[in-house]
Copies of this chain bind each other. A is one copy, B any other.
Amino acid sequence: MSIETAIAELAPRFGERLSRAEAVRAQHGADEAHHAPHPPDAVIWPESTAEVAEIARTCSAHGCPIVAWGAGTSLEGHVIPVRGGISLDMSRMDRLLEVHAEDMDVVIQPGITRKRLNEELRATGLFFPVDPGADASLGGMAATRASGTCAVRYGTMREAVLALEVVLADGRVIRTGTRARKSSAGYDLTRLFVGSEGTLGIITELTLRLHGQPEAISAATCAFGRLEDAVQTVIETIQMGVPVARIELLDPLTIRGFNGYSGYDMPELPTLFLEFHGSEASVAEQAETVGAIAGENGGRGFDWTREPEARNRLWAARHSAYYAQQSLRPGARGYVTDVCVPISRLAEAIAETEADLAESPLMAPLVGHVGDGNFHLSILIDPEDPAEIAEAARLAGRINERALRLGGTVTGEHGVGLGKRKYMAAEHGEAWGLMGEIKAVLDPAGILNPGKIVPGN
């Protein structure tokens, strides 16, 4: 078999860094979410670009699939090797290569995780702002075009990546972009690889934009009687140009989850969590402005604080949302769906979703990076019950179709993986075919994460 031939060729070369152990394969055959697992035939831990290129050449020659593995935190089945082959675990390529403090950029290997990167940057006065909550690898974050809570102010991985080194399917190593902040020198290959989920090439090095650590940070919470009032507060805040660093919506169910899971005692109401970055004067001004907007929209008790402990507690809660939500139904797993709509349609998108849920037997708490019009539903299912899975799929289908109808996208940040591929034709029309044509040029044998993103293969 061609996969076996490739593995046989690579095994002596990689020794203990190639594993066929069942537990290792199982671990690399599943993600954090509800998708059916499928193990790779082997896992390899490369330690250099040259090794990745060598693996690509061998796999190309034998038609053996390669699925890059960052931290395995993606939620749509991205890392599941549906055609078997080799999982390329990038966790040993985790070095910080260069910090250019004056230019506010950093050159790293893909396996470094977001938290470690920020720890290593702490002393420089700089930080990397893209924050999906999970401690994802930067290579995986680039590959999914990740964003998260800070995107409203600092942008997503689309804006954060300045340059890449990429190993193509045939083993060629290319560089896209430079350390210059902007360029008009030809096609934007950097942005083509960002979000390509390991289907066009393996990212072996990234140059990322950093930001200065804010002089002052304050955080705030505000509860609302009605969800539309919370959303209206968000719209007005963005329109006023208040440079909020984070603005998150949590529904009453999620708040109930926090209260149980993290021992909070918050009113079970639609709630905004906010953060402001800037000078002392500016964070005070921002908080006052948003406080006033919230007040006019019926917000109850806009509390803000500069106290780091209270702030950390707040974001620790926010980052535990996925698990807090699951705790609402012991033994359940979250069938997560992520959509993003123009902000003017957000209240409508959420209200219609709530109406769907009122008629469903399933419970589904909601959180959203609402400054971007992005929200996630975590439909709580018994992963062993096919009827519940089918009902979750039905609900998710309605949410995704609604997002398209309202001018939005079926995934704001989680990516396509296996779960969102069925909506690609509806979202992109003929452009989906063009994605397939581009894939065919870069990966003619279809060995890079097959079964994902593009039509057919």
Contact = CB atoms under 8 A, between A and B. Distances in A.
A192 B441 CA distance: 15
Interface stretch (A144-152, A300-308, A321-329): A144-152
Interface in A175-198: 175-176, 178-189, 191-192, 194-196
Nearest to A157: B184
A331 to B, nearest CB: 30
11 contacts: A159-B159, A174-B428, A180-B408, A182-B374, A186-B428, A186-B432, A187-B200, A187-B453, A189-B435, A282-B285, A438-B438
Contacts of A168: 434
A260 interface: no
B185 A409 contact: yes
A428 B166 CA distance: 13
A76 to B, nearest CB: 9
A230 interface: no
Contacts of A183: 145, 340, 409, 411-412
Interface string A326-341: 0000000000000011
Contact of A186 (B186, B282, B424): B424
Interface of A: 100, 102-105, 125, 144-147, 151, 155-156, 158-159, 168, 172-176, 178-189, 191-192, 194-196, 200, 211-212, 214-215, 235, 238-241, 243, 278-279, 281-282, 285, 340-344, 372-374, 403-404, 407-416, 420, 423-424, 427-432, 434-435, 437-442, 453-454
B186 A342 contact: no
Nearest to A200: B187
Copies of this chain present in the complex amount to 2
Given A179-B408, A239-B212, A285-B281, A196 B187 contact: yes
Contacts of A147: 182
Interface centre among A125, A174, A340, A434 (most CB of B within 10 A): A434
A409 B195 contact: no
Give 6 nearest A-B pairs by CB, closest first.
Answer: A191-B191, A102-B344, A183-B409, A212-B241, A180-B340, A103-B342
Contacts of A174: 428-431, 434
Contact of A102 (B281, B343, B404): B343
Contact of A412 (B125, B180, B240, B440): B180
A182 B158 contact: yes
A175 to B, nearest CB: 6
A186 B453 contact: yes
A12 B328 CA distance: 70
A195 B189 contact: no
Given A102-B239, A103-B343, A103-B344, A187 B192 contact: yes
A247 to B, nearest CB: 13
B407 A180 contact: yes
Contacts of A173: 430
Given A103-B343, A285-B282, A430-B174, A184 B241 contact: no
A412 to B, nearest CB: 5
A438 B191 CA distance: 14
A373 B209 CA distance: 14
A235 B101 CA distance: 11
A183 B194 CA distance: 11
